[in-house]
Structures are given as structure tokens and as C-alpha cells.
Structure 1
Amino acid sequence: MQIAKNILNFYIDSSLHVALSVYALIRITFLKFELPYDEAVAYFGFYGTIVGYNFIKYDELARVKKVKLTTSFKAIIVLSLLSFFAAFYYFLQLQTITKVLGIIGLLITILYTLPFFPNKPNLRNWAGIKIYLVALAWVVVTVWLPVLNAEYGLDIVVVLKSIQRFIFVFVLMLVFEIIDLQHDANYLQTIPQKIGIPATKLLTYFLLVVFFLMDFLKPNVSNRELYIISLVALVVGGFTYFANQNRSKYFTSFWVEGIPFFWLLLLLIVFK
């Protein structure tokens, strides 16, 4: 049992789970826009997420806190290094415009972790900004990259889907912020810190309604797609309802982050 738990912890701590969530959302974009599967975009998003998230999570520990190099941490370093080379390989296969977006994402990741100036906080520690940066980054990687690399072009549907995807990630981040409320420093000014947990949950429910209604704005949306988006919204709402500060890390880091898999599975069944 302990071995299984250690494997699960490594799977989560190494960012493999969140990377697969990004991969799932990229696949969802392919399906929603009826785009052919693009291996370069899908795997660039997957491997790039491992590199970016691990850099964000462990850079400060490695540089400042001098974390002990355990076997697990060494494995994460090796995985991150291999993922970097894999991400670079697929990066070279992208269109020029998507390469530019990839470089911008890299710069944001660096600035998110490292301060602009000495003795100044990095973007991660700017009050109230973290949740918006994360949601925007996921929109760029999971919507704009696959759309632009396919030379689909930017139209009103792309704009609407970008807003919808932003809301989806934003809501998932709100669940994280509720769970992490007792651990987050006050200066971070997260939304639950500002308005409290009950108001945050009400905000989440409202945004989920908007998330659902936005599918009606898509031309020729099918009833099956509406059933799927309503089910996804209900699942997120359920996790929001049961979210509290006493939940374990698996509640968010595994189950909530796994919702994109659930969404993709439903779509694959419909589009099969």
C-alpha cells in the first residue's frame, strides 16, 4: 500500500498529472474546433507543462531553502530534464506564430518564479494576481497554441472558447484556493481571503452557469455537447460544494485536476 502511495505522490509531485490535464484540454480544443490531431502541439504542451510547473514549484526550494536531494527529488529533476529536451524537440516542429507564443510563455514562467529586480517579489507573490496568470497561461497553451498552429485564425468562436476556457481554469483554481486557505500567506490576497469561503463558492456557481451558457453561443452546437458541458459544470460544482480546508491534497491535486480527463472522455465517446 505504501508503494502505491509513493507512486501516486511522485505522479502528482512531478507534475505528470497536471501535464496530462493540459494534454486533455488541448485534445478538447482539437475536438471542439474539428481540427486534426497535432502531435507537436499536444506533446509540446505536455512536456512543457512538466518543465514549467516543476521549475515554478522547486526552483525556490532548490535555490533558497536548499532542499535535500532525496531519491524522489532526483527523479523529478531527471524527468524535468528529459521533458525539457522533449519539449524543445516538439517546439522546433511548431509554426512560427506558435513558437513566439511558446517563448512568451517561457518568459512569463521565468518572471513568475524569479523577481524582476533584486529584493522585489516575483509575479507569484504579487497580491491577487496568481489565479489570473495561471488561467491565462492555460488558455494560451490549450486554446491559442492548437488553433494558431493549425492556421485556423482568430474569430469570434476562438474568443468565446478562450473566455470559456479561462472561466473553467479560474473556477478550478478557486477550489484550490479554498483548500489552501489556511496555508496561503495573507499578503497573497487570494479570493477566499478577500471575500470568504461562502462567497467564493457562490462566485464559483455563478461562473459555472456562465461557463455552461457560453456553449449556446457556438454555432450549430449539438444537444449532446450541451449535455456534456452541463455534466462537467455539475461535477466542478460538486467538488466546489464539498471543498473545505480539511480536505487532503489529493482532493484538488488529483481529483479536481483530473476533471479535464473526464471532460475529454465524454467528448471522445460523443465524437467517436
Structure 2
Amino acid sequence: MSFLKRLLDFYINSSLHVALSVYALVRMTGYLFQLEAITAPAFFAFFGTVVGYNFVKYDALARTHKLQMRTGLKAIAVLSFFAFLATGYFFFQLERTTRIIAVCFLLLTLLYTLPFFPNRRNARNWAGVKIYIVALCWVGVTLFLPVINAGIEWTKDVYVVAVQRFILIFVLILVFEIIDLLQDDPHLKTVPQQIGVTWTKIVGCMLLAVFVLLELAMTSVAYPTLLLKSGVALTTGLFLVFAHKRRTSYYSSFWAESIPILWWGLLFVLTKL
């Protein structure tokens, strides 16, 4: 049992789980817009997420020598190195325009992590900004990159899905912010810190209602898709409602983050029936 727990912790701490969630959303984009050239963007997003998230999580600590290279962290470093090589490989499988956009998101990630100006904190510590940067990066990587790479027309549906995707990621981050309320620096001014846990849950549920209603703005409403998105909204809403600051980290970092994977998995099964 101890071995399984260590394996699960490594899976989560090495960012493989969050990367699989990103991969699932890219695949969702491929399904929604019938994109044939989806493999390269999907694997670029997967491996790029492993590298990006591990860089964000461990870079600052490593640079200040506060992080000892225990066996688990050495394994994560090795995994990140190979993920970096895979990211480079799939980067060059993308179209030229897509590569330029990908570099823009890379710069945004660096801005989020590294202090570019003397005596200034990085974007991750800018009060109230973190949640918007993360949600924007997720929308960019899981929606904009595959669409641009496929060279399809940017219809109204792309923008509707972009808003839906932003809302979903935003609300999922709210779950994390509630769970991390005791550990977060008060100066971060996360949403629960600013408006309280109760109002955070109310706002999140209202946003999820908008998430579902936006499906009616699509050019053609597919009721199986509407039903699935309603189920995703309900599941996310339940995770938000039952979130509190004394929940274990698994509640958010594993279970809540599994929602995009579950969504893609259900869609995959239903389309094969």
C-alpha cells in the first residue's frame, strides 16, 4: 500500500496527471471541430505541460537552494528532461504559425515564473493575477493551438468554446484556492481570500451555469454534447461546493483535476458505441 501511495504521489508531483488533463482537453478540441491533425498538438501539450508545470513548481525552490534533491525529485528532473526532448520533437511537427503562438505561451509561462525586472516579483505573485494567467494558458494550449495548427476558419463556435474552457478551468482553480487557503500567502489575494469561501462557491456555480447555457449559442446544438457538458458542470460544481480548506491535496490535485480526463473518456466511449 505504501508503494502504491508513493507511486500516486510521484504521478501527481511529476505533473503527469495535470498533463493528462491537458491532453484530454486537446483531444476534446479535436473532436468538437473534427480536426485531423491533432496528434502533434496533443502530445506537444502533454509533454510541454510536464516541463512547464515542473519548472514552475520547482525552479524557484531549486534556485534558492531550499529544495534538496531527494530520490523522488531526481526522478522528476530526469522525467522532465525527457519530456523536454519530446516537447521539442513535437514542437517541430507543428505548423510554423502554431510554433510562434506556442513560443508566446512559453514566454507567458516564463513571466509567470521568473522575475524579469529587478526587485519585482514574478507574475505568479502578482496579487489576483495568477488564476487568469493559468486559465488563459490552458485555453491557449488546449484550444487555440490545435485550431491554428489545423488552419480551420475561426467561427463563432471557437469563441464560445474558448469562453466555456476558460470558465471550466477558472472554476477548477477555485477548488484549488479553497483547499490551499491555509497555505497561500495573504498577499496573493486569491478569490477566496478576497470574497470569502461562500461567495467563491456562489460565483463558481453561477459561472458553471453560464458554461452550460453557452452551449445553446453554438451553431448547432448537439444534445449528447450538451448532456455531457451539463454533467461536467454538475460534477465540477459538486467538487466546488464540498471543497474546504481542510481537505487533503488529493481532493484537488487528483480528483478534481480528473474531470477533463473523465469528460474525454466518456466522450470516447460514447462515440465508439
Normalised TM-score (structure 1): 0.98
Q: Which runs of 5+ in 2 are unaligned?
A: none
Q: Report the CA distance between 1:153 and its aligned residue.
A: 2.7
In 2, Cα distance between the equivalents of 1:92 and 1:128?
Answer: 35
In 1, Cα distance between the equivalents of 2:38 and 2:238?
Answer: 33
Q: Does 1:145 align with 2:145?
A: yes
Q: Match for residue 201 of structure 1?
A: 201
Secondary structure at 1:27 match in 2:
helix
Does structure 2 conserve the Cα–Cα contact (< 8 Å) formed by 1:139 and 1:162?
Answer: yes
Q: Match for residue 218 of structure 1?
A: 218
Q: Does 1:49 align with 2:44?
A: no
Q: Match for residue 27 of structure 1?
A: 27
In 2, Cα distance between the equivalents of 1:154 and 1:118?
Answer: 40
Q: Match for residue 16 of structure 1?
A: 16
CA RMSD of aligned residues (A): 0.9
Q: Match for residue 120 of structure 1?
A: 120
Q: Does 1:173 align with 2:173?
A: yes
Q: Does 1:104 align with 2:104?
A: yes
**Alpha-carbon deviations, 1:49-102, whole Å to 9, x = none?**
000000000001101143111110000000001000100000001011110111
In 2, Cα distance between the equivalents of 1:57 and 1:153?
Answer: 36
Normalised TM-score (structure 2): 0.98
- Structure 1 segments, 4+ long, off by >3 Å, are none
Q: Does 1:79 align with 2:79?
A: yes
Secondary structure at 1:258 match in 2:
helix
In 2, Cα distance between the equivalents of 1:67 and 1:135?
Answer: 27
Q: Which runs of 5+ in 1 are unaligned?
A: none
Does structure 2 conserve the Cα–Cα contact (< 8 Å) formed by 1:27 and 1:37?
Answer: no
Letter of the 1:172 counterpart: L
* Count of aligned residue pairs for this structure pair: 272
- The alignment-based identity, stated in percent, is 51
Does structure 2 conserve the Cα–Cα contact (< 8 Å) formed by 1:48 and 1:87?
Answer: yes
Does structure 2 conserve the Cα–Cα contact (< 8 Å) formed by 1:181 and 1:245?
Answer: yes
Q: Match for residue 246 of structure 2?
A: 246
Q: Match for residue 130 of structure 2?
A: 130
Question: Measured at CA, do residues 100 and 37 of structure 1 come closer, stay the same or move farther in structure 2, by a change above 3 Å?
Answer: closer
**Alpha-carbon deviations, 1:140-188, whole Å to 9, x = none?**
0000011110111322111111111000100100111111111111110
**Alpha-carbon deviations, 1:120-159, whole Å to 9, x = none?**
1000000000000000000000000111101113221111
